Structure formats: C-alpha cells, structure tokens
Structure 1
Amino acid sequence: MARRSLTARTLRRGMNLWPPYLFAGVRVLHLADDWSSARVRLRLHRFNRNYVGTHFGGSLFAMSDPFWMLLVMQRLGRDYIVWDKTGEIDFVSPGRGDVFAEFRLDEDRLEEIREATADGGKALPWFVNDVVAADGTVVARVRKQLYVRRKSEAPAKPRSEAKG
C-alpha cells in the first residue's frame, strides 16, 4: 500500500543524489520494493571525518535518520500520519572505514502500531538499529521514536439550506 506513486527505486536513486547524503558519503544500497527493509553505507572520507580521524557523529546519525519513518509511512499507507519524534545515538566504538546500517520492518511490528492507533489515539513506537563496521563491530546504536496516528475523517461540510 504505497503512500505516493513514488517507487522505492526512485526514492533510493534520489536519496543517493541528495546533497546532504552525497557529500557526507552516505549511500542507500537497498530499499525494498515493498518498503520492508533498507541498507545504507557510510564511507569515511575527508568530508565526514572528525578531529581524531573517525566518523563524524552527525554523519553516523544522519545515515540512520529517515529510514524508520519512511518504511513505516509507506507500509501503513495514506490513512496514517507518521513523524519522527525523538532520536538518540550511543557511540559504541570508533568508526574507521565503511560502516553500514540495516532496517527491517516486519508485519508484526506494523500490526502493533495499527492496534495501538485503532481507537484514534497515537502510538509512540521505538525502533533501534546498529551502525556496524564491515567486520560486524558495532560503531553506534541509534534509537528513533515515531509519532503515529490514524488520520481522522474530515468532518462533512454542512449543506446550506435553500432559502425561499
């Protein structure tokens, strides 16, 4: 159930050309056609290296920033409002070289959100992903909280009564 006519492939290509990702060295390697998963790589180069020669923390967070919102938004469809609410990052070890982040959204998690919002209330689910080095070493752990609510039905406009 796609939110827009934009395909995952088109979005992936666009994100790879988007200046904040392009110049930071972030590359979207995979975005599933059914919006169930994504994989992102960040290469270490002079534009994203910090003072001590490791990955700049802002780039590590940026590589993870939009994906949970995009996946949930696309999978739930047009009947839901989905926003990023909170983000946290825990730097675990220095990042040197290529680092990767994977995002997998399963149907059970979506069903939890649907159930939590069925009565019109909001859901504030947390999602966690690790940023890992090529050898599997955890470089950072990113937590994102989303705000999710079913859209309310637009109230019917009252009909004007004919005067006469």
Structure 2
Amino acid sequence: MRPWNKNAFGAHFGGSLYAMTDPFYVLMLMPQLGDQYYVWDKSADIDYIKPGKGVVYAEFHINEAMVDDIINNTASGEKYLPEYSVVVKDKQGDVVAQLNRTLYVRKKKRHR
C-alpha cells in the first residue's frame, strides 16, 4: 500500500484492487493461443469483502482445460466470452475482494 492507492479509511482504494487484476488472464492466454486469436478483457465485476490493508495479492491460473475450452468454442470463428474468478487476499490469507473477469476471445479471420 502506498499513499496514492490508500483511501480515506486507510485501506486500499477499491479501484486499485480492481486494476491489479486487469491484464493478467489476457497476458497469460495470449502466448498459449498464439497470434491466431484476439484476446481482450471485456468486463469484470468486483465484490469487496473486507478492507484490504498492507500487502494484498491475487493468484491467476491457466490450465490446459481452459485453453482447450477456448479453442473448441472459437473453432467456427465465433466470439467466446469465458469467465474467470480472481480472489484478492491480504497477507494473512483473508479474502479482501472477489472478482469475475470476462474475456473476449475470437479466432482471427485469416486463421478461420
């Protein structure tokens, strides 16, 4: 936590918790899918569970089943909007926020 991301109550500013989860699923999936796909963030929602103070962190996981799911659902050239959950925790492991992130994935026209 820094002065520029602390709110009036001494906790992490909610927008900072939201933003800290923004690019990771896209950045993790792009090398898995290659340049044949568009992979963008589409939307997200956040549920603030408790004030986050001090160090907070989030874990992101991509597995083969997730990549296969995307490939199967975009094979015909249609867009696919997979949803992934992210949990932000504090140093003690308590949940600070729960997010649901929706991506936009589509196979590029020249690769359909």
Is there any run of 5+ residues in structure 1 with no aligned partner, and where? 1-43, 155-164
Match for 2:17 among 57, 60, 65?
A: 60
The answer as to 2:64 corresponding to 1:107 is yes
State the partner residue of 1:149.
Answer: 106
Find the structure with the greater CA-based Rg.
1
State the partner residue of 1:71.
Answer: 28
Match for 1:137 among 94, 98, 102?
A: 94
Q: Is the partner of 2:109 in helix, strand or coil?
A: coil
Q: Measure, in 2, the Cα distance between the counterparts of 1:74 and 1:92.
A: 33
Is there any run of 5+ residues in structure 2 with no aligned partner, and where? none
State the 4+ residue runs in structure 1 displaced beyond 6 angstroms.
none
What is the TM-score of this pair, normalised by structure 1?
Answer: 0.66
Q: Is the partner of 1:123 in helix, strand or coil?
A: coil
Matches within 5 A, 1:1-164: 44-153=1-110
Q: Measure, in 2, the Cα distance between the counterparts of 1:105 and 1:63.
A: 17
What is the TM-score of this pair, normalised by structure 2?
Answer: 0.95
Q: Is the partner of 1:94 in helix, strand or coil?
A: coil
Q: Is the partner of 2:5 in helix, strand or coil?
A: coil
Q: Which has the higher relative contact order, 1 or 2, with Cα contacts under 8 A spaced 6 or more apart? A: 2
Q: Could you say what the CA RMSD is over the residues aligned between the two structures, in angstroms?
A: 1.1
Q: Measure, in 1, the Cα distance between the counterparts of 2:74 and 2:2.
A: 43
Matched length:
111
